[in-house]
Every structure is written in C-alpha cells, then in structure tokens.
Amino acid sequence: MNKTLQSMYEKLITTTEGSQRREDILNHLKQSNHKFIVLDDDPTGVQTVHDVYVITSWEKEWIREGLSDDRNVLYILTNTRSYAPERTEKINQEIIRNIVEICKELHIDFSIISRSDSTLRGHYPLEISVIEKTLAEKSNWEIAGHLIIPAFFEGKRYTLDNTHYLFEENTFVPVNETEFANDAVFGFSTANLPKWVAEKTAGVYQAKDVLTISINDIRQGGIDKVRTILLSAKKNQPIVVNAANYDDLDVVSLAVLQAISHGKRFLFRTAASFVKSIGGIENKQFLTASKLVAKSNGGQYGGLLIVGSHTKKTTNQLTDLFSQLHVRSIEVNIEKILNPLKRQGEFRRVCELLRQYILSGEDTVIYTSRKVIKTANKLENLHYSQTISSILVDVVRSLTATPKFIMAKGGITSSDIATKALEIKKAKILGQAAAGVPVLLTGKESRFRGIPYIVFPGNVGNRNTLTDIFTKLLSLTNEKGRSSWQNKK
C-alpha cells in the first residue's frame, strides 16, 4: 500500500469514546421495543458487549427465558461454523421457527443478526439464505436486504473503499493476504467485498448487484443518505457497509432503525462491533483481575487454559506466554488423537497430568500440537476439528475440582467447552478481559456454576495479549505461593 493511502486510512480510523448517537439508538430501541437476536456461529461474537445474555439452547423455553427481560439484545450460540452445511441449515431453520413462535407469543418485534467471523470465514451465503426463506415461510416477511458488516475495531479490522483490511504491524493488510483466507473450509480469494459476495454466491450476485454504503455516504451524507440507500434495497440485496470506527456504525445503526420504522426488513451478516452499536451498548473498561476468577475456588486450585486454535497468531501468543511466565503445559498429540488405536492412551495421559496440576494449585495450559493436519476434503477437515474438540471437551469434563478460572482459545474449542464441558445453557456477558476477549459468567445450571469463562478468539490480540491476561492475575497468587505467576525474567 502506498504511503498516501496508508496515511489517509490511518486518519479515517481515528475513533471517539462513544457518542450522543449511542444514546439516541438506545432511546429508539426502548420506544419501539425492537429486539436484535444474534445467531452467533461461535462464542466469540460477544466480544464487544456487556450486561446481555447468551443462551446455548434454542428450545422454546430458553428462547422465552432469553427474551423475557427488557434488554434489546439476545445472543443464541449456534456453533454452526464447526458444522457441515446440511446441519447448519437445519439448525438455522429450527431456531428461526422457534423465535417466530415465541416472539408472537410475547408480542415482540425483532431483527436477526447472523454474527460470524471478522476475517470472512463462515457459512455465507447459506445462513442468510436459510434465515430469509424461513422468515418468509413463518412470518410472510419480505427481506429488503442483508447488510454485510465485517468491521471489528477491537481486533483492528476495517472496511475501507469496499475492501476489508486487518491492521497489523502498522500496515493495512487486505484480508485475502492473511492466513485466514487459506482456511481449509472457508477460504476465499478477494478482500473486495462486492467481489467476495460474487465469489461466495457462485455468481448468484455479481459485484455490480451489491449496494454499498461508503465512508463518504456516512460522514458527508449522514443518516439521511444512508437511510435512502437502505430504502432502495429489495429482494434480500447484499449491502456492503464501509466502517472505520464506531461513529460510522452509529450513523448506520440509526439509519437502519429509521428504515425499519418505515416498514423495511433487513438481515445482517456482521462481525462483533455492529452489535454493540445497534444495541446502544456503551463502552466499559476491561474487567479487573478479581472479576476473572471463581469466587468459590478460594485460590485453592489452579486455573486452566485450553487451546484448540492453530492459527499463527495463537501459536505466537503461546510462545510468548511460555517464554515469559511459569505455567504448566500439556501438549496434546493430534496425530495420536486422530488415530483410533492411540486415542484413549493419549486421552488418559492428558487427564492424569491435568488432575495433578490443577489439584496442586498450578495454572495449566492444555494445547494441541501445532502441526496442522488437513486434507483436500473440506468436510473431512471439519471432522478432524470436531474429533480434536471432542477430546478437549472430555478432558475438561474429567475434572472434579473447580479451576480458579477457565479460558478457551479458538472458536470451535470455546463453543464446545461452553456447551458440552461446562454445560452452559444461559450465561451473562460480564465484559472483556482484553480487547475482543469476552468473559461469560456461567449460570446455575452449569457444571461449574458461577465461574468466569474467558473466551479468547484464535484470530484476536497481539503477540503478548495472552501473556497480559495471565499477568493481570499476578496479584491473585494463591496463599501457597505457587510459581505459576512468577515472571521468568
């Protein structure tokens, strides 16, 4: 990227700490009683919000429970990014049918946000298409358009001139030039979003068919200009939204709410930042160390980090953690896990080491071997991921003592730990441990009730972010004076 364009983009992303518009959004939501229901394809989508709930079951009783307070945002964890298309389709159909029935019962108007990855991975356009068809079937809705908003400012992801960028090492990198574009299941070739839509829809939509909302539309034309573009959409038309900071998204959110008031219906395919804006959720400081540990533990047992993500970013963060702090580490041999003859032996070895370390009060990291094993078959790669994740789930389930904290790294890993190991049905989002790293408080139904669960996305943070979160807990070293928190330097 040339220096002139780089400098221009750097000026565009300058942001503010909230705005009057956020209050206007919240007031509008209160007056309209309109709720935004977020179908989250992994647990990392709550990484920008606080004081809202996420449910992991879409049975009617849990949807009713989730919608029964005065909050305007509810997350439903679907974990569909880890599933094959057929199962993803059925899950979305079932959820939408149940939502429609419960919202009719409770007299609630709503919109659906399909929250997915800020680096463009996930089941698009499948999920948007299924949601649209099911809403038409159950509610006779006509969807005017679906807004595509992958901007995620906490993770330094911006959409500028219709191209989606990661800001890394002080450079704007088109997302197709990153490791995420080479994903074994959801890879892609372009960061230009209209062209990305054409690629992902296999030509159902051409780039010229995509509506766009530019930074200039937002900052010069304002709410009126954006609303006019939205009102022109028809037949579930893709609408690419450029955004460089929360002020941009707040303008778009108010325009969306006004367009909805005009009778238009929209769907949303977004990353995490848009939910904070459209929900009128204000900023909150990162959680203090005391909010990250279990009150019931009393410092007696060690904390636990489970790492399933194999991104380069995660590997670098692990390397930094191990070089800076004394933590117990257990490497899970993936080749053995994928070998049915060796799987149980490896599982027993990991469980026994984990039990010893946690009971001794030592903070422990379980991580999968860093070699990526993949084939040319996308569904087989999904199966590999699910097999590995299921072993990690069983390892956590083997624990009888409540860890001081539980942290999971990676989308599939953190979802499976939440739903299958911790058995969470409903959790409150406390806030963030660091930028883009949400913390959930487990509910009374959970296997380890009332403990913080830290969800660390595989594609978030700098090299030292993981180390920084651990270091935040230095002041909470248990009374036995374990060396886990002592700095190596």
Given a cut of 80, whether residue 377 has pLDDT beyond it is: no
d(CA 154, CA 9): 16
- What the chain holds in terms of domains, given with CATH numbers, is 3-278 (3.40.50.10840), 289-485 (3.40.980.20)
Strands (E), 177-336: 211-213, 237-241, 266-270, 304-307, 328-332
For 382-393, what is each residue's pLDDT tens digit?
Answer: 777 778 888 999
The mean pLDDT value of the chain amounts to 91
Strands 73-77 and 53-55, how do they pair?
A: parallel
More confident residue, 335 or 132: 132
pLDDT score of 483: 41
For 430-480, what is each residue's pLDDT tens digit?
Answer: 999 999 999 999 999 999 988 999 999 888 889 999 999 999 876 665 444
Q: At what angle do helices 126-139 and 85-106 cross, to 10 degrees?
A: 40
Identify the DSSP state of 40: E
Given a cut of 50, whether residue 485 has pLDDT beyond it is: no
Choice among 115-124, 171-180, 319-328, 404-413 with the minimum mean pLDDT = 404-413
pLDDT score of 476: 66
The string of DSSP codes covering 252-268 is: HHHHHHHHHHTT--EEE
- Tell me the percentage of the chain whose pLDDT exceeds 90: 76
pLDDT score of 297: 58
pLDDT score of 433: 95
Which pLDDT band, with edges at 50, 70 and 90, does 487 fall under?
Answer: low
Mean pLDDT across 404-425:
91
CA dihedral of 91, 92, 93, 96, whole degrees rounded to 10: 120
Q: What six digits make up the tokens of 248? A: 């941009």
pLDDT score of 107: 95
pLDDT score of 71: 95
Q: Which residues is 74 bridged to in the sheet?
A: 37, 53
Choice among 107-111, 307-311, 320-324, 351-355 with the minimum mean pLDDT = 307-311
Strands (E), 102-247: 109-115, 145-149, 157-160, 163-168, 171-174, 211-213, 237-241
Mean pLDDT across 169-190:
94
pLDDT score of 382: 72
Query: In Å, what is the CA distance from 300 to each residue of 289, 303, 485?
Result: 16, 10, 14
More confident residue, 1 or 446: 446
Given a cut of 50, whether residue 90 has pLDDT beyond it is: yes
More confident residue, 373 or 314: 314
List the Cα angle 155/161/164 in 5-degree steps.
Answer: 30
Q: Which DSSP helix (H) or strand (E) runs through 249?
A: helix 246-261
For 203-212, what is each residue's pLDDT tens digit?
Answer: 999 999 999 9
Given a cut of 60, whether residue 121 has pLDDT beyond it is: yes
Query: For residue 116, which of 108, 107, 125 has the smallest C-alpha distance?
Result: 125
Q: What are phi and psi of 375, to 5 degrees?
A: -120, 180
More confident residue, 89 or 82: 89
pLDDT score of 58: 96
Given a cut of 60, whether residue 343 has pLDDT beyond it is: yes
pLDDT score of 126: 98
CA torsion sign for 383, 389, 395, 396 is negative
pLDDT score of 477: 55
d(CA 409, CA 387): 16
